[in-house]
Each structure stands twice: as C-alpha cells, then as structure tokens.
Amino acid sequence: MASESVLKINGLTKHYGNLKALDSLDMNVEQGTIYGLLGPNGSGKTTTLSIVMGILRQSSGKYYWFGREPDYRSRLKIGSLIEQPVFYPYLTLNDNLRLLARIRDVGDHDINHVLGTSNLLKRKYSRYKDLSSGLKQRLAIGATLLGDPQVLVLDEPTKSLDPEGFSDLREIIRKESDRGKTIVLASHILDEVEKVCTHVGILKSGSLVMEGRVKDILSGKEVVYVSVEDGDKAIRALSNCQLVEKYEEEQSGNFRILLKDNHTPADLNQYLFEKGVAVSRLVRQKNTLESEFLQLMK
C-alpha cells in the first residue's frame, strides 16, 4: 500500500524577472519519511521551501499539504526553519519562545522540552543577542518543535553548527522520525543527508533530476576507477558491457564506471581482459550520494 502524501508539488515554477528559479518542479514527500532536498547554491532549494511555507508566491503550479491546498490550519501542523531565524535580541530565550508559542496558538508547556532538546536549558534566561551563532542556530532548530508539529521543514539547518551540533541535530531528526513525524531537510552537505535521510530529491537549475529512496539509489552498486593503456578499445568494450550501468572517461585512459547491481570489480576486470583491454589500475569505491550528486551536476 502506498504511503500517504504529506507534501505534493505539481509543476511549480518561479520567475525572478528573466531568471527562472524553479522550472515545472514535481515532487512528492510521503508521510513518515526523512526527505533530503539536495542541490548546489542557486538550484532552487530555499525557493521551493519558501513557497510551500507561504513565504513566497509561485509564478505557476500548485502544491498540497496533507492532500489539500494549504491554509492556516495546515501550517499549524508544520514547524519550519527557513533561512535566517528571527528572534528579539534583547529578550531571553524563554521569552522569545513564549512569544512564538502565542503566535502558534500553543501553550508554554513545551518550552523546557524545546530548550532541553536543543541543549540550551541552562541558557533559558540568557538574552538572545548574547548567544554565539551556533547557539542561535540550535535555538532556531529547537523552536521548530514547539507545539509538537507533524512535519518539520528545515532549510540548511547545519549552518553555523559545530561537530557536536551536527551530532545533536542528527539525533533530534532520528528521534522525531521515530515518533512518526515527516521531515523535509534542504542541504548541500551530502554526507549528513546520506546519514539521516530515507528519501532524496536532487535539484539542478530549478528542476528535479533525481528522486527516490536513498537505499535504492545506492543499493548494491559499486564505483570502479580503471586506468587502461588503450582508451578507444576500452570505450568499445564498455559500450557493449552488460555489467556496466554507466561509465565516463574522466581523462584519457581513465574511467569512472558504475557497475550494475550484484556485479563486482573482479567481473569487470575479467571482462576487460577477455576483450583484450590491458588494465594498469583498478580501484573500487562504495557508491555514495556525493558521487551520484557530482555526476548529476555535470
């Protein structure tokens, strides 16, 4: 049975004058998933999240939260962090969160939990302006949990965080996911996304170039780097090789080869030997989200 769609995007387009920031974007986030939205700077990640959170208006296209067009009630089910968090500098963390609770129409009972989760409970009565940039980001992440929303939308949440903050954020995401929440996480830090996300969508110039389960994208595939004496002969052999999903000659005689599921570098080496291709170097590497991403961005 298919999972229920929490966020569905159909043909979303956004123009800034002559610049097309989003180009007929289609995307689907299912309930209970941790969806990583990836892309280089300028790919449309923040624009996408800003539109679905009602901060920007799209030029065309539609999006749906919980199977219906967005309204005030649906947004109360979402905790979000988009771009720079905004808090009152001279108010304490406690008072800032109390104001936010009023805006979201929730009680104050979550404040200690939010501060504890973001490891800021000891700074409860510190003024916001006295926090370091990393602690301000921790507060912003924690504030998305206020009112126990069903969905978290986080745009570049690792910004300004130290390694301990990275680790704490991963733990927050995993715990909230274990409680059944849906999380949409935009980032350009591929290793972090690979560690926590169940699904991924990769943007390039405002269009979705890949979407799917992380484990399916990486499942059973190995990347092999091969150096040969005769590049032309290798190309002829690889073009008809049933072991290879795709290949690329990065430099003369040097190839990056993605093997199909359940095939090994030893199989490839044997095949090239039988085709008379002399291999001088063969290095295997686990396929990663980063390697897939870099290939798509070329």
Mind listing the pLDDT tens digit for each residue in 263-276?
Answer: 889 999 999 999 99
Return the pLDDT at 293: 62
Return the pLDDT at 1: 42
Distance, C-alpha 265 to centroid of its chain: 30
Higher pLDDT, 220 or 183: 183
pLDDT (mean) for 98-106: 88
What is the 8-class DSSP label of residue 3? P
pLDDT (mean) for 108-125: 92
pTM for this model (two decimals)? 0.78
The closest alpha carbon to 207, from 6, 8, 13, belongs to: 13
pLDDT at 123 > cutoff 80: yes
Least confident of 134-148, 176-190, 212-226: 212-226
Return the pLDDT at 220: 58
pLDDT at 221 > cutoff 50: yes
The H or E element that residue 5 is part of is strand 5-16
Of all residues in the chain, the percent with pLDDT exceeding 90 is: 50
The 3-state DSSP class for residue 78 equals: strand
Return the pLDDT at 158: 85
The CB-side HSE value for 108 (13 A sphere, CA atoms) comes to 7
pLDDT at 286 > cutoff 60: yes
pLDDT at 287 > cutoff 70: no
